[in-house]
Amino acid sequence: MRSSSFALIALLAAGCTKSPESSTAPAAPSMPTPTAPGPSNAPAGAVKGKVLETLEASSYTYLRMQTGEGEVWAAVPQAKVDVGTEVSILNPMTMNGFESKTLGRKFEKILFGNLGGAEGAAPAPAAVPQMPPAPPPGAGVQHGPMATPPADLGPIKVAKAAGADGRTISELFAQKAAFKDKTVSVRGKVVKFTGGVMGKNWLHLRDGSGSSVAKDDDLTVTTAVPAGVGDEVLVQGTVHLDKDFGAGYEYAVIVEDAKVSK
């Protein structure tokens, strides 16, 4: 995980069974408080505004902000922020329909990012927040980036895609090096769909091969085509390895810009 980014929704994406703040990370050593840039110096893409309300939830601080585009909610690593402070949300990622289990409320739209431009608003050193799930070293995330878990559709058994580039999901993970930057065909059942994240739709496919223990049973796919949970589909797209979208969304194997058909 990089300290400069969070870990999304949900893609866009091991099963996300908890909201982000429900994971507790080990205590981090105290560090000198960095000097945050003022709002006028915020990087391009940052969201700037005045804090109207704050809510604390475990390792996150939720901010209701007044921006030039209206009011928005944002979530940042836990920090002391006073109402009325002008802040910037750096590297923001949008999550729609996000539900915080800790707060017991659902946000129609919320930005996850890092805090900048707030004097005296240094992140608390007690925790290093992570967006779920936290992947084991080298494994990458295969069940994120959205905050809802894949649907439990019962036993799944889907036939392998035909053709020379057809593979089951577990075969693709086992042969990932051979498929790097190449096209693959995979048939599976959609167990999770998240639309409109970073301009893409995110599917999670399972075909009954692999296991959750080996983390080779769930394939993340990005596409412009919508799909419904429970649909059995054929996807054809380019395999990318060790893809890091930032905000903690790292994928050991992902199929991108896929064509989707039934």
Which backbone phi and psi does 174 adopt, to 5 degrees? Answer: -70, -30
Residue type, 120: G
Secondary structure of residue 7 in the 3-state scheme: coil
What average pLDDT score do residues 70-80 get?
Answer: 88
pTM (predicted TM-score): 0.49
- 7, 130 contact by CB (below 8 A): yes
Residue 73, pLDDT > 90, answer: yes
pLDDT score at 85:
92
pLDDT score at 127:
33
CA 183 to each of CA 65, 82, 163, 179, 257: distance values in angstroms, whole numbers, following the listed order:
44, 51, 12, 7, 10
Residue 139, pLDDT > 80, answer: no
pLDDT score at 232:
94
Give every CB contact of residue 19 below 8 A, 6+ residues apart in sequence.
98, 99, 100, 101, 102, 132, 147
Which CATH number fits the domain 18-23+45-131, given the four candidates 3.40.390, 2.40.30, 2.40.50, 1.10.287? 2.40.50
pLDDT score at 27:
41
CA 255 to each of CA 19, 94, 205, 236: distance values in angstroms, whole numbers, following the listed order:
25, 22, 11, 8
Q: What is the β-pairing status of strands 60-67 and 70-77?
A: antiparallel
Portion of the chain with pLDDT greater than 70, in percent: 68
Residue 84, pLDDT > 60, answer: yes
Residue 18, pLDDT > 90, answer: no
Residue 15, pLDDT > 50, answer: no
CATH code of the region 169-261: 2.40.50.140
pLDDT band at 149, cuts 50/70/90? low
Mean pLDDT is lowest, of 83-87, 100-104, 147-151, for 147-151
Mean pLDDT is lowest, of 72-81, 110-119, 196-205, for 110-119
Per-residue tokens: 194: 């998240």
Portion of the chain with pLDDT greater than 90, in percent: 41
pLDDT band at 137, cuts 50/70/90? very low
What is d(CA 66, CA 152) in angstroms, rounded to the nearest whole number?
39
Q: How confident is the model over 211-259, as pLDDT tens digits? A: 989 999 999 999 998 888 899 999 999 999 998 876 667 899 999 999 9
Range list for CATH 2.40.50.140 in the chain: 169-261
pLDDT score at 44:
55
What is d(CA 33, CA 80) in angstroms, rounded to the nearest whole number?
12
Alpha helix locations (H) across 73-142? none
Residue 53, pLDDT > 70, answer: yes
Per-residue tokens: 103: 């707060």
What average pLDDT score do residues 129-134 get?
Answer: 35
Residue 152, pLDDT > 80, answer: no
What is d(CA 47, CA 206) in angstroms, rounded to the nearest whole number?
37
- 260, 203 contact by CB (below 8 A): yes
pLDDT score at 2:
42
pLDDT band at 43, cuts 50/70/90? low
